[in-house]
Amino acid sequence: MTRQEQQEYLNKGFSKDQVEEIKLGLEEGLDIEPYEDKGFFALQMREIRLGLMKELPVEIYARKDFDWFQMEQIRLGLEEGLNVRLYAYPKVAFDTMRQIRLALADGINLVKYTSLPAGVLRELRKAIKAGVDLAPYIEDRYDAEQLEQIRVSLERNINIQPYITNELRGSAIEQIRLGLERGLNVKQYAGLQYEWRQMREIRRGMEHQVNFSLYLNPLYDWQQMREIRLGLEDGLDVTSYKSLMYPATDMSVKRAYLAAGIVDVQPQGVSNGKPIAYNNFELKVTPDQMIAYFQLTGSRTGVTRSVIMNALEEKGIVKGIDENIINKILTDRAGNQPQEIAKGCKSEPGPDGYYEYFFKTEVNRQPKVLEDGSLDYKDIEWFEQVRKGQRLALYHPAETGPAGYNIFGVEFPKVKGKELNILTGKGFYIEQDGHTYVSNVDGIVELKGNKLEVSNLLTLGDLTAYMGDTKFDGNVHVKGSIGNGCTIIAKGDIIVDGFVEAARLEAGGNIILRKGVNAQGKGLIKADGNIEGSFFENANIKAKGNIKTSYCLKCDVESENTIEVSGRHGSLLGGNTYARMLITVNEAGNDTGVKTHVKVGVSNEVIKRKIIINNEIKKVVKELASLDAAYDELAALYPPEAREDNDMFKKIDTVRFAKKEIKRKLEEELAIVEGLIDEAKEAKIEMKGAVYEGVTAEINGKKWMATGRDIGLTLVDDEDGIKILK
């Protein structure tokens, strides 16, 4: 398109952005007739042009009564092969169109619900997809923010219904949900008398096991509640500042004073820390009233025990008097130097709260290392079983320590030790005492930090293909062997005591094969965690965690972290082995030259993802440029006071914000991917024993090939290729 042709369009009243869209269409060899109309905004032209590029039936949406946001949703639906005529009506808002489109892509038809707000449609779509029923709550007119929390509760099997009404805001319902997830008695705060931040402070008090009843009063604002809670967590006696008369700022100051052991009581006659003179000595009290100093100012003659004690008593100093210092003064060993004759004592916190557990909190998950360096998984501990009704833990609350005092006998509040947070997790309940944790299922128990979990355990014997597939929402323990054609899919761990043949094992946790696997080139062993076994033969093995074995023959092995083939006779022979960071083997290949490929470093998937992200960022940047141009165009047409009532202006402003958020998230993901690529520069391959011809290695795309027998090689990435360290 020549400059003259562009000028002709400008002369006809087209804007520069419109001319640019026409130019782009012509350059792409498109028939621009469907949008060669100055009645279209440039962004509308763009949507029609993008549809023409994909050879879509743009006549469905190439109309002026569709704004470009609606056009985009129709175009995307056409690209996805959806029946867009179900929602391609000008009266259907673009955000409603979007939810209908996303639902149709999931095989869900929400067309009959177009009268609902888009946010409600979004939650309905997600609920149907998750298999939960939101309909009763929609009928009760809960809004999108409320429905989101209800949906999450239903998906997590949390019975939130008895505690909520549609008068509670979504943020308040969230606090109720979080409390129920942690096993708290939410009846204490689930009501309209508390706003969500007050609910949060009460919930946190429950979680931290402090006496939250001291601030369980809707007349406190949430900042006051917070100050009282923080004081309780520090073991302080908050009664001195928990009055409603104190604003949160005053409470904060008083809490800091208490934490420092400072009290407001000041005995009469001793107020400014100045020395109090007697005939030939003086007493001085520190401003914090914690130490009294005695100092001779003249001859020791006449200074007796009774004189000193009378002086102390006269000034009200009655606690912490040091008899040894008095003796030192009376025997003239003190001289004229100030002596600490009395000293107060700060309150000391009592013992902290602690949990007593009635199961092994740590099990030995490490295989036995045999004399030859190989791994024996026969006696490995992996879990501890518990029965329904079994006591799991008992919480012993923190206790108060001894009260402190100053030298005038003023006693400080006692200080409790630190309370521990409640245990969260699943598979147990807390008895009415609030301290005893009891299993409510038969299964295996595990403590991960502050999270206690009792997971279902399915125990099986020998498995054969005619028994059918096994899918279990928990852990699976196979005490026998697994034959050809068997399938086990578990959300937890899979532990197999016997041999595994050509089977499919998939675990959301770890997989432990005590004896090993010979899969005859079939099946799959896949885990989101680690995979360990005595030996792997002719198997396809993939783990997001680490992979460890004593012997690996003709396998395809893939780890997103490290692979270790240990033992003096630990051999990696044949197949393809990939780990993101480290492969450690004893012997690689054999003297017959079997092809053995090992690879570490950045994966092809990561590189592809980087390319995709960069392309998506470029696309969003281009879209933002168009949006900014449209925004500026409308801003020039309407004064600021008129923009609030302009639907198109508000839509563009909203979408600009959304696109900027998408760009930010893409840039964050790009940073993570680039971090993985940088990290992969440290990847290496360690071959401690013999390395034979036939072994090929690859590090971050750089290749190396063994040309003869060698011993003890470490391969690392180098600017010029792969560097070999002996």
Band of the pLDDT at 271, cuts 50, 70, 90?
very low
Write down the pLDDT at residue 268: 44
Is the separation of the CB atoms in 341 and 293 below 8 Å? yes
pLDDT at 512 over 80: yes
DSSP calls for 105-126: HTT---GGGTTS-HHHHHHHHH
Structure-token pair, residue 434: 């609030």
Write down the pLDDT at residue 109: 94
Write down the pLDDT at residue 378: 62
Write down the pLDDT at residue 635: 78
Band of the pLDDT at 629, cuts 50, 70, 90?
confident
pLDDT in tens, 9-56: 999 999 989 999 999 999 999 999 999 999 999 999 999 999 999 999
Region of 145 please: left (phi>0), alpha (psi -120 to 50) or beta.
Answer: alpha
Q: pTM for the full model? A: 0.70
Rounded average pLDDT over 59-68: 93
From residue 96, give the alpha-carbon distance in Å to each of 43, 122, 125, 151, 627. Answer: 20, 9, 11, 19, 21
Q: Which amino acid is at 572?
A: L
Q: What sign results for the dihedral spanned by CA atoms 660, 665, 668, 669?
A: negative
Q: Which long-range contacts (CB under 8 A, 24 or more apart) does 629-638 make?
A: 629/17, 629/42, 630/17, 630/41, 630/42, 630/43, 631/656, 633/15, 633/17
Write down the pLDDT at residue 435: 93
Structure-token pair, residue 278: 């007697």
Is the separation of the CB atoms in 498 and 480 below 8 Å? yes
- Domain boundaries defined on the chain: 3-258, 276-343, 605-681
Q: Which amino acid is at 248?
A: A
Is the separation of the CB atoms in 472 and 458 below 8 Å? yes
pLDDT at 449 over 90: no
pLDDT in tens, 137-183: 999 999 999 999 999 999 999 999 999 999 999 999 999 999 999 88
According to DSSP, the residues that pair with 229 across neighbouring strands are: none
Band of the pLDDT at 442, cuts 50, 70, 90?
confident
User: Per mean pLDDT, which range of 404-408, 558-562, 624-628 is the poorest?
Assistant: 624-628
Looking at every residue in the chain, the average pLDDT score rounds to 89
Q: CB-based contacts of 609: which residues, under 8 Å, 6+ apart?
A: 673
**CB neighbours (10 Å) of residue 446?**
22
- Greatest mean pLDDT range, 237-246, 281-290, 637-646: 237-246
Write down the pLDDT at residue 177: 96
According to DSSP, the residues that pair with 411 across neighbouring strands are: 405
Q: At what angle do helices 16-27 and 42-53 cross, to 10 degrees?
A: 10
According to DSSP, the residues that pair with 356 across neighbouring strands are: 394
Share of the chain above pLDDT 90, in %: 63
Give the helix/strand (H/E) hosting 662: helix 647-679
Write down the pLDDT at residue 379: 59
